[in-house]
Amino acid sequence: MSVGTNWQQGDAVHVAVALVLLAMSVSSWSLMIGKTLLLWRAGVNLRNGIAAFWQAPGWEAGVRAATGLDASGLLHPLLAAAHTPLAGTLAAAGTPQQQHMRNVRNGLDTAMRRLQFGQVVLATIGATAPFVGLLGTVWGIYGALLGIADATQVSLPQIAAPVGQALIMTAAGLAVAIPAVLGYNLLGRWIGRVESQLEGFAFDLHALRNTDAAA
């Protein structure tokens, strides 16, 4: 029995489960491809941008040089931490070192959120897709058993076709979940390396600012 015939014979629950798995698959692959491009671009931008910052003659020149190479938008929140907060606000409270530390921490959080975007979705798809497929299998077997109970004569093809159709849903759930889990783990390790590089640069920025303030 062809896939098209299986689809046509499926009831509303079977079709709904198949559509949910299809949406999960499209979402996970879109996220994995998009995040792969983002992280690859971020690695290049961070290397070039940080190198350009430290080779600049001064802070302002370094900010301009690094920002010009920051196509991924991860360095800008950290470099913007040097901006003086508006006077008379709570953001201006405390010493300049404390203000800068707070701004660097906020900028680092912004960059981290950009890097972590989509990871929860991948984890959710990897954890739930097998159960969605299992739901389709259980429902399909239940429908097959009802059909067998109503039949006056039962043959092997009558049993094999609906049961095989039901088992395909379990395989589809695993086919959706396995790439999502692998993508989550591999991208998580890659994100960790980029985050470590950002944290090191944030620490160096704060130490440099403190040195300039003490001088």
Q: What are phi and psi of 95, to 5 degrees?
A: -75, 160
pLDDT over threshold 60, residue 88:
no
Half-sphere exposure of 153 (CA within 13 A, CB side): 1
Sorted by sequence, the CB contacts under 8 Å of residue 148 that are 6+ apart come out as: 154, 158, 159
Output 127 or 214, whichever has higher pLDDT: 127
Q: What is the pLDDT of residues 65-86, one digit of tens each?
A: 888 888 888 888 888 776 655 4
Do 77 and 102 touch, CB atoms closer than 8 A?
Answer: no
- Say whether 110 sits in a helix, a strand or coil: helix
Do 74 and 195 touch, CB atoms closer than 8 A?
Answer: no
Q: What is the pLDDT of residues 110-129, one digit of tens each?
A: 889 889 999 999 999 999 99
DSSP label at 83? S
Q: What is the pLDDT of residues 166-194, one digit of tens each?
A: 788 899 999 999 999 999 999 999 999 99
- Kindly list the domain boundaries of the chain, sorted by start residue: 3-83+91-214
- Region 44-52: mean pLDDT is 90
This prediction's pTM? 0.78
